[in-house]
């Protein structure tokens, strides 16, 4: 029997393991069926406590998590799961209120899908999140302004102290470090960091705000990740020379 927090089969080279958490048996069955046909190993839970139990017994590679659950809502489940390690989470919500979606992102969800949704679209979102959660091919370290990112290890530090970043926060910081001094619109960041050509741009806004809270000395007055009014955001290291890959001459932002 697999021990609590032991890496899942997907982590060991088998099919990625997806935990589907939804109290609607029809939705859970349809989602699980599509994921199974796409080649994933699927586990299911119908409430918050059982989701936590299953995640502890066999750590999933990704969680598809309904926001509205009996006993313990999806936000609390997400908080607790993320408290034990960086497991990617896609939140399902039947609500149209943007505040609910933003709350999901604030507690660490990597993506969300609003019900009713296309199961095929959900599978594509799962593939996208898992693809970006895998270690980068390059082992080059990136650094500027006291920040260091190791893509292969998916480790980021500020002045030598490790940062607790979600999957998307890590990718966003890495992207900024690779393109210092260049302004990007939210559409650009969604395409380059999330890999989507369309989507809710508030996702980008929330992640930039969360990332600022972890890398800025004063998040209320950001110095590194600056807002470019009418455009988007720009990373300004405030140091001489162009940052980029450590030990190299730097990478063009083109």
- CA atoms of 53 and 51, how far apart (whole Å): 5
Q: With respect to residue 109, please indicate whether it lies within any of the assigned structural domains.
A: yes
Total domains present in the chain:
2
Per-residue pLDDT at 155 = 86
Asked whether residue 44 falls in the same domain as residue 125, the answer is yes
Per-residue pLDDT at 213 = 92
Asked whether residue 125 falls in the same domain as residue 189, the answer is no
Q: With respect to residue 224, please indicate whether it lies within any of the assigned structural domains.
A: yes
Q: With respect to residue 199, please indicate whether it lies within any of the assigned structural domains.
A: yes
My answer on whether omega of the bond before 116 falls inside 30° of 0, hence cis, is yes
Asked whether residue 110 falls in the same domain as residue 187, the answer is no
Per-residue pLDDT at 7 = 40
Asked whether residue 105 falls in the same domain as residue 162, the answer is no
Asked whether residue 98 falls in the same domain as residue 157, the answer is no
Q: With respect to residue 64, please indicate whether it lies within any of the assigned structural domains.
A: yes
Per-residue pLDDT at 166 = 81
CATH code of the domain containing 93: 3.40.50.2300
Answer with the one of 133, 167, 199 that is the final residue of a domain.
133
Asked whether residue 87 falls in the same domain as residue 178, the answer is no
Asked whether residue 107 falls in the same domain as residue 167, the answer is no
- CA atoms of 137 and 201, how far apart (whole Å): 28
Q: With respect to residue 163, please indicate whether it lies within any of the assigned structural domains.
A: yes
Per-residue pLDDT at 135 = 56
Q: With respect to residue 251, please indicate whether it lies within any of the assigned structural domains.
A: no
Per-residue pLDDT at 65 = 92
Asked whether residue 234 falls in the same domain as residue 150, the answer is yes
Asked whether residue 160 falls in the same domain as residue 190, the answer is yes
Q: With respect to residue 127, please indicate whether it lies within any of the assigned structural domains.
A: yes
Answer with the one of 133, 155, 170 that is the final residue of a domain.
133
CATH code of the domain containing 217: 1.10.10.10
Rg (CA), the chain: 19
Asked whether residue 38 falls in the same domain as residue 115, the answer is yes
Answer with the one of 116, 133, 150 that is the final residue of a domain.
133
Asked whether residue 149 falls in the same domain as residue 183, the answer is yes
Backbone phi and psi for residue 55, each to the nearest 5 degrees, phi listed first: -65, -35
Asked whether residue 220 falls in the same domain as residue 127, the answer is no
Query: Dihedral (C-alpha) 149, 150, 154, 157: value to the nearest 10 degrees?
Result: -40
Q: With respect to residue 5, please indicate whether it lies within any of the assigned structural domains.
A: no
Tens digit of pLDDT per residue, the chain (254 long)?
333 344 444 544 578 999 999 999 999 999 999 999 999 999 999 998 999 999 988 889 999 999 888 888 888 888 888 777 778 888 887 765 666 667 777 777 778 888 888 888 889 889 888 877 665 555 578 888 889 888 877 889 999 899 988 878 888 999 999 899 999 999 999 888 877 766 677 888 888 998 999 999 999 999 999 999 989 999 998 743 344 433 332 333 33
Q: Which domain holds residue 32?
A: 17-133
Residues 6+ apart with CB under 8 A from 126: 18, 35, 38, 40, 62, 64, 90
Per-residue pLDDT at 182 = 92
Tokens of 47: 């409430």
């Amino acid at each position: 029997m697999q021990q609590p927090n032991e890496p899942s089969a997907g982590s060991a080279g088998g099919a990625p393991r997806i935990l589907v958490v939804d109290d609607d048996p029809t939705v859970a069955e349809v989602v699980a069926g599509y994921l199974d046909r796409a080649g994933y190993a699927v586990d299911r839970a119908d409430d918050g406590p059982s989701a936590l139990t299953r995640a502890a017994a066999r750590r999933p590679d990704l969680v598809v998590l309904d926001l509205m659950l009996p006993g313990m809502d999806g936000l609390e489940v997400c908080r607790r799961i993320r408290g034990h390690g960086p497991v990617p989470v896609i939140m399902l919500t039947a609500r149209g209120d943007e505040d609910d979606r933003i709350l999901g992102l604030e507690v660490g969800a990597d993506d969300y899908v609003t019900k009713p949704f296309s199961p095929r679209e959900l599978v594509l979102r799962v593939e996208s999140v898992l693809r970006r959660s895998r270690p980068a091919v390059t082992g080059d370290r990136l650094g500027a302004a006291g920040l260091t990112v190791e893509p292969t290890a998916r480790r980021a530090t500020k002045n030598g102290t490790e940062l607790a970043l979600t999957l998307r926060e890590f990718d966003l910081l890495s992207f900024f470090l690779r393109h210092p001094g260049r302004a990007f619109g939210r559409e650009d960041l969604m395409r380059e960091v999330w890999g989507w050509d369309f989507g809710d741009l508030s996702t980008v806004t929330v992640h930039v705000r969360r990332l600022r809270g972890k890398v800025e000395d004063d998040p209320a007055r950001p110095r590194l990740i600056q807002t470019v009014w009418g455009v988007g955001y720009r990373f300004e290291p405030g140091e001489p020379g162009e940052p980029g890959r450590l030990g190299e001459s730097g990478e063009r932002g083109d």
